[in-house]
Amino acid sequence: MKYISNGKGSIPLITLIALLSVSLTVNLPGLAVSPMLGKMADLFPHSSQLEIQLLTLLPNLIIIPMILLSGKIANVRYQTAVLAAGLAIFLAAGILYLFADTMPMLIGLGVILGIGCGLIVPIAAGLLSEWFYGSQKVKVLGFKSGISNGIVILATIFVGWAADFSWHTSFCVYLVPVIPLLLLPFMTNGYIRSHIRHNDNGAPSSASTHVVAKESDRRIFAKPIVTLCGVIGLYIALTASSMVFTYYLPFTMKHYGLSTSEVGVATAMFYVTAMIGGFSLTPYIRIVGRLGLYVCIAIMIAGLLTLGLIHTMAGYVIGVLLIGLGYGFFQPIIYNKTTEIAPDKTLSTKYFSYTLAGNYIAVSIVPVLIEGVQALFDNHTPDFPYFISTAILGIVLIIGIVCRRSFVWRTGSGNTAK
């Protein structure tokens, strides 16, 4: 059996593969089927635009409360059971999608899909943070981010191809949970504890490590929830700013005479560079060190300004590539900060539930935020949303410079879990 380092010893490679396989599911609801929404309008001509939009919007709305529920009930004792239940519900929804033939059925299945995915999301990150330490934890969280973004690329391509044959076939992307379900035995606490190898230097057991981490973090974070709120606030601001293009790029391209069919190409570029950013997080941190988050924001600002100023297909692709790269770098940094704030490694999943709920909230508030600012300034030009997001990131960057000594803004060796 092949083993890999977990930062304080080694665990089976098959366990790492199993833990990472859970990340294949977390970004699929809504995003995966969005390329065929136009076809759904033709298939269900009597359905309203809201009903069709609910196919992508409703699962993500349901995910938010289910993430919080999962974080509350998925303690060490029940974590595997909650994960198994979430994967099973997700897979059941995927199977039922293949036979659904009415809009109410599709909308109802979206609720079931959101329930299953919401139970999975915090555990996908929590399990990795529980069994990996230091630089190895940073690396695998980067892999997690890369995998969850990369699967969207493959799913989007598959949906676009399958929709030409049968719209039911497109929903096969929701059968992906079968992979982590088959690998579930290799990620249980019992299996990992019986196969883990500790270093010969007297590395503490998992239980004692939890105690040490708890005492250390209490000294560093007198009010961990307050610190977590700062991390979540940063996550919401950066996610909302980066996702603005998903809502407004089609209208911008249409305004400047470009084919809206090319929006899919530009959107795919976002996930390509987000995936690259996740997989290359370790060398990125090694190069930029404590400037990690500042560089991420600068890259995203450059991308947003490109979208607002250069009105060519090449300009839009470059802009989205830059936004995706910045997003791909900062997302796993936020994940790692969440694990360090948790007073105990066994609470990682609970803390992740708060952070990841912030992610879905950010995606949901983008149109409300942009429309509100547009109304305030009475400016509805197609480029204004990108300048709004640029201004938001600029304000965040200034706050970061002022608060540069705080935990929220530190990256690099000085911010690595011991």
pLDDT per residue rounded down to tens, the chain (418 residues): 899 998 888 999 999 999 999 999 988 887 656 666 667 777 788 777 677 777 877 888 899 899 999 988 887 678 889 999 999 999 999 999 999 888 889 889 999 999 999 999 999 888 888 888 888 888 898 899 899 888 888 887 787 777 777 778 888 899 999 999 999 999 998 899 898 887 755 444 443 333 333 444 444 455 677 888 899 999 999 999 988 887 788 778 878 887 655 666 777 788 889 888 888 888 888 888 888 899 999 999 999 999 999 988 889 889 999 999 999 998 888 988 888 887 777 778 888 889 989 888 888 888 888 888 888 998 888 899 999 999 999 999 999 999 888 888 887 644 443 3
Evaluate whether residue 384 is within a structural domain: yes
**What confidence score (pLDDT) does residue 32 get?**
58
Amino acid sitting at position 152 = V
Evaluate whether residue 315 is within a structural domain: yes
The reply to whether 258 and 114 lie within a common domain is no
Question: Of the residues 203, 225, 250, which one is the last residue of a structural domain?
Answer: 203
**What confidence score (pLDDT) does residue 212 get?**
37
**What confidence score (pLDDT) does residue 245 get?**
85
What does 288-312 look like in DSSP terms, one character per residue? Answer: HGGGHHHHHHHHHHHHHHHHHH--S
Evaluate whether residue 278 is within a structural domain: yes
Evaluate whether residue 209 is within a structural domain: no
The reply to whether 163 and 282 lie within a common domain is no
The reply to whether 193 and 261 lie within a common domain is no
Evaluate whether residue 208 is within a structural domain: no
The reply to whether 150 and 250 lie within a common domain is no
Radius of gyration of the chain (CA): 21
Evaluate whether residue 186 is within a structural domain: yes
User: Total structural domains in the chain?
Assistant: 2
The reply to whether 222 and 363 lie within a common domain is yes
The reply to whether 199 and 228 lie within a common domain is no
Question: Of the residues 203, 226, 251, which one is the last residue of a structural domain?
Answer: 203
Strands ordered across the beta sheet of 3-5? 3-5, 9-12, 197-198
Evaluate whether residue 366 is within a structural domain: yes
**What confidence score (pLDDT) does residue 202 get?**
44
The reply to whether 285 and 401 lie within a common domain is yes
Q: CA-to-CA distance for 243 and 68, rounded, in angstroms?
A: 22
**What confidence score (pLDDT) does residue 77 get?**
74
* Domain containing residue 56: CATH number: 1.20.1250.20
Evaluate whether residue 210 is within a structural domain: no
Q: Please report where in the chains the tokens 């480029």 appear, as a residue.
A: 383
Domain residues for the domain of 139 are 3-203
The pair phi, psi for residue 12, each rounded to 5°, is -60, 140
The reply to whether 293 and 388 lie within a common domain is yes
Q: CA-to-CA distance for 163 and 186, rounded, in angstroms?
A: 35
The reply to whether 271 and 295 lie within a common domain is yes
The reply to whether 106 and 58 lie within a common domain is yes
Question: Of the residues 142, 175, 203, which one is the last residue of a structural domain?
Answer: 203
The reply to whether 135 and 261 lie within a common domain is no
Tokens of 206: 């998992």
**What confidence score (pLDDT) does residue 184 get?**
95
The reply to whether 80 and 146 lie within a common domain is yes
Note whether 224 and 341 are within 8 A (CB). yes
